[in-house]
Structure formats: C-alpha cells, structure tokens
Amino acid sequence: VRWMMYWIVFALFMATETFTDLLISWFPFYYEVKMAFVLWLLSPYTRGASLLYRRFVHPTLTRKEKDIDTFLIRTRERSYETMVHFGKRGLNLAATAAVQAAAKSQGALARRLRSFSMQDLRSIPDEG
C-alpha cells in the first residue's frame, strides 16, 4: 500500500512537473528543491507520499468516485463501439481487397489464355 501511495503521488508530481519546469525552472535551486521533494516522498522516515496521499489524493478520489465510475463505464461502452466499428471497416477493406485481387488475377488469366492461338490450345495434352 505504501508503494501504491508513493507511485500515485509521484505520477501526479511528474504530471505537474512538466508545466512547472517551463514556468519556474529559472528559480534558484529549483532542481535541488525538486530532488529534495522526491527524497522526502520516498523516505520511510518522513513518509511524505503517504502523508500527501492521505491528506489530498484520497479525499479527492473519494469525492469524485461516482464521476470516475461513470466516466469509466462510458469509456468502456465507447471503446467497444469503436472496436466494433473499426472491426467492420477492417473486414470490409479485407473483403474488398480480396475481391479486387481475385478480379485482377482472373483478368491476367484471361489475357494469358487469349494470347494462345487455337492451335496452341489443341496441342496441350488432354489429361482426362
């Protein structure tokens, strides 16, 4: 559980770090403070990640639990519909490609047979 709390808090830190690096990286000792913060999160003595998780992240997730569940259900339904839609499109494209390939090969076979004269066709031994 301790590692789960750490990784969730660390992921949130990394997401916010993307923007803060652009805005305040010029601040003196910014990178040193950032490294000290990560060590504070990770340290078993300070338990910074557990503190932040219990004080901020968990209450926020608890308040938004119904919204998150609704979002996940809608996303699952949309992903299923999208998968079915693209699956049908893929099968249609594959069927079209197969029909076109068969039509082209039939045309090549017909051109090949037309290139023979009747005498050439009569000279082919009959296997039957």
Distance CA 2, CA 51 (A): 10
Task: State how far Cα 45 lies from the chain centre.
Answer: 38
Q: Evaluate whether residue 18 is within a structural domain.
A: yes
Distance CA 9, CA 27 (A): 23
Q: Evaluate whether residue 1 is within a structural domain.
A: yes
Q: Evaluate whether residue 125 is within a structural domain.
A: no
Please give the pLDDT value at position 103.
75
What number is the average pLDDT over the span 75-99?
Answer: 87
Q: How many domains, the chain?
A: 1
Taking all residues of the chain, what is their mean pLDDT, rounded to a whole number?
A: 84
Please give the pLDDT value at position 1.
87
49 in Cβ contact with 42 (< 8 Å): yes
State which residues form the domain around 80: 1-120
Q: Evaluate whether residue 70 is within a structural domain.
A: yes
Q: Evaluate whether residue 64 is within a structural domain.
A: yes
Distance CA 5, CA 95 (A): 50
What does the pLDDT look like over 32-81, one tens digit per residue?
999 999 999 888 898 899 999 999 999 999 999 999 999 999 998 899 88
- 19, pLDDT greater than 80: yes
